[in-house]
Structure 1
Amino acid sequence: MTTRMSAQPSTASAGAAPSGRRKDRFHRGAGRWLVLAVVGLFALFMISPFLLMVINAFKSPADYSGGSPLSLPQEIYTDGLAYFWQRVNFPVKLWNSVWTSALVAVAGALLSLLNAYAIGVGRVRGRAWIVAVLMIANMLPQEGLIYPLFTMAQRVGLTDNPWSIVIIFTVIQSAFGTYLLASVLGTFPRALLEAAELDGASRWQILWKVVYPIVRPTLSVLMIFFFIWTWNEFFMPLVMLTSNDNQTVPIALSSLQGDRMLDVPTLNAGALVSLIPTFLFFLFFQRTLTRGVTAGAVK
């Protein structure tokens, strides 16, 4: 009898616990909805420039001049997209941006890994000063580097050559990548490296069979950033690439703006077309970016 009496309160308390949690969750619902509303408003504020670009990209010049930038188009006008595509020879500009950005992403990540392996794992002398110099190099504005870089490109025969952009941005991006990876590899477990050396592994084998599998998520994130950063570069390609066949997408957009005339609908149409490749690239590698960030946080 006593056993039954003692079992009943425990059963009642067990049944009351879920209802208590549900009640607590219900009371916290108002705060959650408030946070969700604030986040939604902030997201709408962030995407508002994109929405304005889409609205004005499908307006005719007469529709844009007769209304306001916030008004909806009276009809879907696609001649601006066709005009931009033909005027700037967009397929050529797109290909130039794609292959230069892809090469910089791969070469910059590879150079960052080799440099960081020598600094963080190899323990070269003066590694603190090397990392400090790389950090300072990331802070230098491109306006201060353009004259010596342009002079060197002229002397080696890379004037108006996309390979000059690839070489320059590979070095610039790898400075940031080396600074980031060197700090990561500086805390690499020495016992793991010593175990690989005792097994007869060379330094090259240690790099590709021990170090690379661990830092591969970080390298993936660096490659994505290097690609997007190089794609969005404007000033350096504008100076280095003078001919129409070698220019990139950001330069093509700037050609739509004149001193006394600006075709806003065509400019918005060009910006929309130029945004689509990078948007698709980000969507395709979004899972890779998320995994790289979370893997680096866990490790």
Structure 2
Amino acid sequence: MGVEIMGRGRVVTTRPAPAPHRGRRGKRGAGGWAVLALVAGVGLLMLFPFWIAVINAFKPAQDYIANGPVSLPAELDFSALADFWSGVDFNRKLLNSAVISGSVALIAVTLSLLSAFAIGIGRIRGRVWILALFMLAFTIPQEALVYPLFVLTRDLGLYDTMTGVIIILAVLQSAFGTYMLSSVLGAFPPEVLEAARLDGASRFQVLRLVVLPLTRPTMAVLVTFFFIWTWNDFFLPLVLLPSADNQTLSVALGALSGQYTSDPTALAAASLAGILPALVFFLLFQRTLMRGVNLGAVK
């Protein structure tokens, strides 16, 4: 029924809004099931190496030789994990990796934000060419840069120091962060920036009070990526950190396997110990990562 409302000599009839149609959910077609099966298969393939590392990390060497790598352990044996933990000074390597990865992530994001603010909002001259240069920078392989970086760190007294590796990796990864944030800040609403300037805000205040809160989800995504990339980096720490006291966890894992010697259970235990910290970090920041990705997709 409608409701009649008298107003200024005329009658206005209002009708209740029609209820939304709740039809049955359409059946999944053959193509949908095929895509679901493909995604499930790819997910299982990605989880299979982790599963192999888990079951072999706690398997005795005799059990591994007798039953192979795919079988479940007949009994739990923590000796391989304990030997790796004490043999490579795992606590020290874990601390080195955490310090380097965390420092690189924070410094690289800060450099990316400052550079992207100048390029995307400051509208400096040659903006397109600068972005092309940054894009070229993060496509250069590390193998092409290792000798110049080795000479540079040696001459500056930063060779075999975590400070040198942090500076190099932060600068290298900030190229990708600058390119990504510049595209976000390039589409920043100019009305918001103009209103802030009319209120008397300086450039630093615009960056701190306007740009930073709105780009925080994107920066959280970059922090997560930079941390995991640095944690898994092997080549530059191998070359620039030769001493055992400064080595990262990835370099310590690579030293366990040689041309003539290999212990599969020890390698599985070492792989599991190296994977778990990065996995825990990813799970802690998963919600922040997905929120930033979804926000970037909506924008």
TM-score by length of 2: 0.89
CA distance in 2, matches of 1:227, 1:166: 12
Where in structure 2 are the equivalents of 1:192-271 lying within 5 Å? 192-271=192-271
Letter of the 2:227 counterpart: F
Q: Which residue number in structure 1 is paired with residue 6 of structure 2?
A: none
Aligned residue-pair number: 279
Q: Distance in 1 between matches of 2:41 and 2:298?
A: 31
Deviation at 1:43, TM superposition (A): 2.3
Q: Give deviations 1:227-274, integer Å, cap 9, x for gaps.
A: 000000000000000110100000110111122010010000011011
- 1:38 Cα deviation (Å)? 4.8
Percent identity, aligned pairs only, is 53
Tell me how far apart the structure 2 counterparts of residues 250 and 272 of structure 1 sit (CA, whole Å).
12
Instruction: Pick the structure with more helix per residue.
Output: 1
1:118 alignment partner in structure 2: 118
Aligned residue number for residue 12 of structure 2: none
Instruction: Report the more deviating stretch, 109-118 or 289-298.
Output: 289-298
Shift of 1:198: 1.2
- TM-superposed CA distance for 1:67, in Å, is 2.4
CA–CA distance in 2 between the matches of 1:79 and 1:226?
A: 33
Deviations 1:146-174 (A, max 9, x none): 11111110111111101111000110110
Q: 1:159–1:75: structure 2 CA closer, same or farther, 3 Å change rule?
A: same
Deviation at 1:34, TM superposition (A): 6.6
Could you tell me how far 1:30 is from its partner in structure 2? 7.5
Provide the secondary structure at the position in 2 that maps to 1:246.
Answer: coil
Q: Which amino acid aligns with 2:144?
A: G
* 1:44 Cα deviation after fit: 2.0
Written as runs of structure 1 = structure 2, the 5 A alignment for 1:1-299 is 21-22=23-24, 25=25, 28=27, 36-299=36-299
CA distance 1:83–1:127, shift in 2 (3 Å): same
1:33 and 1:190 map into 2 onto residues whose CA distance is: 45
* Corresponding letter in the other structure for 2:51: L
Residues 175-225 of structure 1 deviation map (CA, whole Å, 9 limit, x = unaligned): 000011111111112222112111111111111111111111100100010
Which residue identity lines up with residue 128 of structure 1 in the other structure?
A: V
Distance 1:148 1:33 in 2: 52
Provide the C-alpha distance between the structure 1 equivalents of 2:39 and 2:189, rounded to a whole number of angstroms: 41
Distance (Å, rounded) in 2 between the aligned partners of 1:182 and 1:29: 40
Counterpart Cα distance in 1 of 2:62 and 2:212: 57
Structure 1 residues 113, 262: closer, same or farther in 2, change over 3 A?
same
- Alignment RMSD (CA, Å): 1.8
Residue identity opposite 1:28 in structure 2:
K
Which residue does 1:4 correspond to in 2?
none
Which sits farther off after the overlay, 189-198 or 156-165?
A: 189-198
Higher alpha-carbon deviation: 46-55 or 248-257: 46-55
Partner of 1:245, secondary structure, is coil
- 1:33 is displaced (CA, Å) by 6.5
Change (3 A) 1:67 1:139: same
SS in 2 for 1:279: helix
Spell out structure 1 runs of 4+ moving beyond 3 A: 29-42
